[in-house]
Chains A and B, each alone.
Chain A
Amino acid sequence: MRTPIAYFVFLSGILFALGTVGVLLRKNALLIFMSVELQLNAVNLSLVAFSRMHNELDGQILAFFSMVVAAAEVVVGLAIIVSIYRRRQSVNVDDVRELRW
């Protein structure tokens, strides 16, 4: 493979940054969640890239686990969002601001 590994890592960094922007700027809880998934993906990509660089499979194993845990997390997170929606009929995170001064 001729593509330098660094390009993959840099790509993963860009994707991560984009995911962060999404977390910060979207108000819909589901969209925030999706941005978080984007971040997780980016990290997985960099894990696999480094695994390739070191000629080991540990990175891929780690990415694998990350995916599994991400799946579990999505399940629970969406359940929470559903339950919040049931209470307030809204998934706008700006409406959830009781914990303040």
Chain B
Amino acid sequence: MPLDNVVFWVFAPISIASAIGMLVMRNAVHAALFLVVNLFCVAVMYLLLDAPFLFAVQIIVYAGAIMVLFLFVIMLLGVDRGDDLRERLLAQRPLAILLAIAFIAEIFVAVRAGIGFATKAPDGFDAVNEGGNARALAEVLFRDYFLPFEITSILLIIAAIAAMVLAQRRARVITQAELEQRRSPSTDRGSAVDDVDVAEVPR
């Protein structure tokens, strides 16, 4: 039995299971950890698809940086207690699941009509990965996609600055309880946060 087949059929179910696990966990930290598992599995998929560089980047950036950031924020805000699973919105849950199933069915149909479930990957990818995947990627990146590369770097800088500005401490704090009070049925005006000044200079 070919090795890549085995690897695929082991890690694909794990990735799906971890995704489902992420969805159903009440505790946010647990959900984040399940997501990390999923990211690992996807990284393995990349490996199977002859993209070792992305395999590494996925683990380092996604699982390593982004998810850690998530966990930081979860624990910073202390919202790991998790929300109640009662669904207030009418028909939200059944509809969502139904539509998701419909979506999967459509993907199935599209894939079957498109590339067909039998098509194997063509040979010759080794020629593409001449000199190693990283080197080949670098050549394409810095030659054909140089402009997007530069723009993306600017984007990162902007994101960093934005995060710093956004996360500064503000003046007054209104609790959710107070908001609920204001939004009581007799004065249901809808805009209850008008006493918080957005343009206030932070301390």
Chain A positions near chain B (C-beta within 8 angstroms): 1-11, 13-22, 24-28, 30-31, 33-35, 37-38, 41-42, 44-45, 48-49, 51-53, 55-58, 60-61, 63-65, 67-76, 78-83, 85-92, 94-95, 98-101
**Contact status B170-A34, CB under 8 Å:** no
New A-B contacts (6) at CB < 8 Å, excluding given A9-B107, A52-B50: A6-B112, A16-B103, A53-B119, A60-B137, A79-B167, A89-B173
Chain B's nearest CB lies how many Å from the CB of A46? 10
Contact mask for chain B residues 111-140; partner A; CB cutoff 8 A; 1 contact, 0 none: 110011111111011001000000011001
What residues on A are CB-neighbors of B140 within 8 Å?
Answer: 57-58, 61
Closest 6 CB pairs of A and B: A13-B107, A72-B159, A79-B166, A24-B96, A79-B163, A17-B100
The answer to whether A24 touches B45 (Cβ under 8 A) is: no
Interface size class on chain B is 35 or more
Query: B90: CB under 8 A from chain A?
Result: no
**Which residues does B use to contact A, with CB under 8 Å?**
2, 4-5, 8, 12, 15-16, 19-20, 22-23, 28, 31-32, 35, 38-39, 42, 45-46, 48-51, 53-54, 57-58, 61-62, 65-66, 69-70, 73-74, 76-77, 79, 82-83, 87-89, 92-93, 96-97, 99-101, 103-104, 107-108, 111-112, 115-122, 124-125, 128, 136-137, 140-141, 145, 148, 152, 155-156, 158-160, 162-164, 166-167, 169-170, 173-176, 179, 190-193, 196
